[in-house]
Amino acid sequence: MTKVALLGDSIRLLGYGNKVPELLGKDYEVFQPEDNCRFAKYTLRMLFDLRNDLKDCKVIHWNNGLWDICRLFDDGKTFTSEAEYVDNMLRIAKILKNITPNVVFATITPVRKEHPYNRNEDIDRYNAIIVPELKKMGFAINDLNGLIRGDIEKYICDDLIHLSESGADICAEQVAKYIKAFGI
């Protein structure tokens, strides 16, 4: 049995993470935390507590970013600066690469344009700064943003940020495809 892990924010927890185990089938053991991995620094901290759960994983699929790019306060700043985001994400990346060379990063998914705290231009900017860095490290990139971007109204539910049922379905299919692509 191949052990894999799904790490990520509520796009994973409430969305594709519920569907991937069934799509992978009985040959895979899927670990995923019951907690939302939230923003990158929170995920970084969680990795210490999850170290035993992640042991022996052959593939890790990971996403972070929606919490990092949110603008909660009226100060013109994202929750996590670009520099802090990159630093935290690269620290996470190194830790995950020490567990397995087979790591997939999923891009930050878009939100509906009327979301009060998250902006697609911030999402695009943060994806643009982290993806090249992770590619240099040999990460596979699962472009969930591009997948959802084709029909945001259909794939993002009425809360303006989380995946709809059909959004969770197509993301889960793509996540399972990326995991199986390692041929392990």
pLDDT, tens digit (0-9, with 9 covering 90-100), for 88-139 = 999 999 999 999 999 999 999 999 999 999 999 999 999 999 999 999 999 9
What pLDDT is stored for residue 1 in this prediction? 94
DSSP 13-31: IIIGGGTHHHHH-TTEEEE
Residue written as token pair 């593939």? 59
The span from the CA of 129 to the CA of 112, in Å, is 22
Check whether domain 2-180 has CATH 3.40.50.970, yes or no: no
pTM for the whole structure: 0.97
Residue 8 C-alpha from the chain's centroid: 5
Q: Is the pLDDT of residue 83 over 90?
A: yes
pLDDT at 6: 98
Mean pLDDT of the chain: 97
Per DSSP, helices labelled H in 55-109 are 82-99
Kindly list the domain boundaries of the chain, sorted by start residue. Answer: 2-180
pLDDT of residue 184: 84
Given a cut of 90, whether residue 9 has pLDDT beyond it is: yes
* 145-183 residue pLDDT tens: 999 999 999 999 999 999 999 999 999 999 999 999 999
Please name the residues in contact with 62: beta carbons below 8 A apart, sequence gap of 6 or more. 6, 7, 8, 43, 92, 96, 103, 104, 105, 106
- Triad 72, 77, 81: Cα angle to 5°: 110
Tokens 């890790």, residue located: 60
